[in-house]
Amino acid sequence: MAEELAFARKASGLVRGLSMWDAFAVGFMFVVFGIRIFAKVQKVVMVFGIGGCAIIGIALTVTSRASFMVKWDAWVTANHSADLIYSKFPAVVAKAASVPIIPITWNWADTLGVMVAMSWLFAYAYSISFIAGEVKRPDKTIIMSNLFAILVPAAFMLWIGAAMYHSIGFQFLSASGYADNNGIDAIANLPWSTHFVGLAAVMAGGSAFGKFISAIMGLSYVAFTLWWIALSYLAFPRILFAWGMDRMGPKWFTDINPRFASPVKNHLLCFVLGEALLALYFFKFNSTMQNITVTGMQITSVFAVTALAAVLFPYMKRSKGVWDSSPYKTWRFLGLPMVVWGGAVNLVYLALLMYEFVFKKAAGAFTTGSTILFGLVWVLGIIWYFFWKQRSRSVGVDVSMTYGELPPE
């Protein structure tokens, strides 16, 4: 039985790995050959995805705790896991997790830990910045999009969080979260994991209508994932393209293929690198490459720098003209421009996240290997910068001057 279980887990892992590669390949195809199609598809996905989330929210809201307990017990019993009934599940998970008991109410440490997941709320606003040049009236659209990119997911998360607290209960929720994140053997017989979509599917029940609702919820998750991968993929070659334009990378990063009107060579490089890194992540350096080297890298290299820029922006002499002509100059709170508040709040939040990463081992895999990798990426980045700066200087171009502020008088 143990061998069969191990084989099943390996096979399931391989399928997950292949799915990642497939999804990445779909993202590549969209970006290189079908950005117009993607532009149309993404609207459908967005409606479908938000609709699916709404169904999940409704399922969680209308189900009482008693009803969930009955449905859960019936579901686990039908799947040969009677020892996982509602009253026993937290204890089984606590045993697997080697902790005396799953917490029965909230605490600050875990709440701050959850902020790692919350950071993805900012990811949507982050995506908007990559497509900022391609929207109508960016002066209005970007501001509104950033605002709604936070408000809409936040509203959904508050709603779904409150509904789960009500219908599932804190302790069971903690246990199901642990079981889903860590894939414990005890839930191996269950047909799907105990994530929030899975719990909502249990509530929807096994009737034809319940299965239909579950399918919608599951498909919305898959559709959103594909959309997210394509969007993330869009960002990667754009960064390389910008490097090429700024002479901080080879010129061919910017070579436009006349047939597809896109930098196909650049996209192919990103595709190959992306697939190779996925393989490394999946098969070799899973714990080393997650959290600190991905989200931690984003925090230090992108979000924190942007937040700091937002705090300083209204007071910088070099950007005075831009700030003076901004329609948002008059948006103030307690005497300070709103952009300063936004940047400051973001910096505090990012500092909390980094604290969780560095000092709370439970929040992520902050291992020696991941620290070395984190440092290595920074060092390679710095070497890359100075190499290309020197190379450009050798042909007569000083890149530090070409993007510096010119004297305006």
Partner 1 sequence: MSKLFFVTDIHGSNVCYRKFLNALPIYGADVAVLMGDLTGKVLVPLVEKGNDTWECTLMGQHRDVTTKDELADIKKIIENAGYYWVHQTREEFEDTRSDPAKIDALFKSLVFTRVQEWLDLADERLEGKPFQMYMCPGNDDWFVIDDMIDNAKLVHPCDKRVVQIDNHEMVTSSASNPTPWDTPREMSEEDLETHYRGLVSQIKNQETAIYNFHVPPHGYSLDLCPKLDENLTMAAEEKIHAGSIGAKKVIEEYQPLLGTFGHIHESRGAQKAGRTLLINPGSEYSEGILKGVIIILDKKKVKDYVFTSG
Residues engaged in binding partner 1 (CB under 8 A): 39, 133, 135-136, 245-247, 251, 254-256, 258, 261, 321-322, 324-325, 327, 392, 395-399, 401-409
The SS3 assignment for 122 reads helix
CB 141 within 8 A of CB 135: yes
- Minimal distance, residue 42 CB to partner 1, in Å: 11
Integer Cα distance of 334 and 166 in angstroms = 37
Q: DSSP alpha helices (H): ranges in 313-360? A: 320-324, 338-359
- Please list, in sequence order, all residues whose beta carbon lies within 8 angstroms of the beta carbon of residue 51, skipping any fewer than 6 positions away: 216, 220
By C-beta, is 266 or 288 nearer to partner 1? 266
- Minimal distance, residue 332 CB to partner 1, in Å: 15
Half-sphere exposure of 213 (CA within 13 A, CB side): 22
- Minimal distance, residue 363 CB to partner 1, in Å: 39
- Minimal distance, residue 256 CB to partner 1, in Å: 5
By C-beta, is 334 or 401 nearer to partner 1? 401
By C-beta, is 362 or 395 nearer to partner 1? 395
By C-beta, is 11 or 135 nearer to partner 1? 135
By C-beta, is 135 or 215 nearer to partner 1? 135
By C-beta, is 6 or 39 nearer to partner 1? 39
- Minimal distance, residue 184 CB to partner 1, in Å: 47
Q: DSSP alpha helices (H): ranges in 103-207? A: 108-130, 138-167, 170-182, 196-204
Are β-strands 332-333 and 336-337 bridged in parallel, bridged antiparallel, or unpaired? antiparallel
- Minimal distance, residue 403 CB to partner 1, in Å: 5
Torsion of CA 70, 97, 108, 57, to 10 degrees: -30
CB atoms within 10 A of CB 97: 15
Closest by CA to 65, choosing from 208, 137, 216, 173, is 173
